[in-house]
Structure 1
Amino acid sequence: MTKADQMLDRYQPGDIDILVLPELAFTGYVFESIDEIEPYLEDTCTGPSVSWAKKQATRLSCFVVVGYPEKYVDGEELIRYNSQCFVNRQGELVKTYRKAFLYETDENWASEGPGFETIDIPELGKVGLAICMDINPYQFKADFYDFEFGHYHSNAKTNIILCSMAWLKSKSKEDTSKNSDTVMDTINYWAVRLLPLMRQSVEEGEEHHTVFVACNRIGFERGSTYAGGSAVMDLSHSEKVQLLDHLKGDEEGVLVVDT
């Protein structure tokens, strides 16, 4: 958290409207069991990640999204989720989103969330929250062209999607030369998975755009290499995608994009 504070220290109120951090931003991502992640599980409203989001939201007067491992108590049952908090400019928790499509690493400890959702935010329109594997086929068993996530948000006419990621570089890409730029392969794949948003039906004369924000991890963790490439894309209904800006595969920083 200290490092994130330092990276954001130069920004002041008015500089940022929405701040998005990666999946499990402050804990790392690769946990092999419930016992391993247990010490890092956080309360929905008062955990360290949510408290950090509230503090930065108030300081910067912006919306903040942070991924974290959530412990949720339902009666006498403890349920563990891979979650995002969505905090408004006043530092109030607006929504806890729980990852719906789990990657194999998540299955070591997390339960599936209830499903995809949108939130109506007067300033922003319809906001969709997402965590990494959500944009992929369910368990990689569903048909690639089912596009479950893309169709949901196309039907919902979502205006902006805020996606926290711990997206891995494929093994074949890890084996290529370090000088080979593979980050666009990753970003292009994300765009393909959002294809329904570029094919959605609209009334004649109507113009609909969806802004997709992906904040990904970089570096290495327990034998896994992250793909980086945090990016912002503008998707229009006429099968067009405009890449507004992105970071490199090994670049750590704050990406500020005017949409």
Structure 2
Amino acid sequence: MDLKPLLNKLEHYRSEKPNKVFTMYLNTDPADPDQQGGKWRLQLKNGLNNFESYLQEDGDSDEKRNYWAVKEKVENFMNENEMNLKKSVIIFATGDDDVWFADILQMPVKTAFFWEEEPVLDQLKEMQETFPKTGIILTQKDQIKYIDADLGTVNETNVYELDLDTEDWRLHQGTHKADSNLGSGGGKTSKKDEFYERFEANRYRWYKSIAPKLDKAAKNHGWERIYLVGESDEVNDLESHMNKTIEDKINKNLLDHEETKVLEEVL
């Protein structure tokens, strides 16, 4: 999720009674001790009911109708996504559908509800500053994978594999893992040794050829931070050929790990 368009819209959004804006930051993190037993359900119920009680006393029937429309959409979203929750949910909504944004995030928030003339963006802005658009590039000899992420959520994953016959890097979109150049069968050990020798002899040149593709991916995805992950010699060679600034290098072999686990390890 790219926060910039959302923030640009919400920062300039203003409304007047009876058309107010609902803002919700809901902590649904099952690992949080304060969320044991799905405590978020009670917090959601109380948060929604508190506004309804206030509006009943206020007596503005148009505002009540707008709020009830928002409440129904929020409850439907939570019911439909209850089994898919991660650490948090954020929602911005108006009764006339002029604003509707709801997303499940891997980042923690502090539970809060608002019904005001404008959206409350403090936590959203803090998330953007803490977890901006990020690219994580993982190396493992003849395979290089990049993960496009922000707010601790994986947006896209792509894998490049080096074809040793043509010495070209081939792109496999998605989480597909290409066949190994090491092959299989009776000659596997000697072939592996042969591959390692050839790779070490040509690594610098081969990584030089992939670096422009990674720079282009960084530009296209708008990465504000880039992390290189892999063996020291490999990430150092890759960094030396890339034009983009590298935020940090992590000397671990994580290419085969599940993407969300990589994010947790790196970020």
Global fold match (TM > 0.5): no
TM-score of the pair, normalised by structure 1: 0.25
Using CA pairs under 8 Å that are at least 6 residues apart, name the structure with larger relative contact order, 1 or 2. Answer: 2
Q: Structure 1 or 2: larger strand share?
A: 1
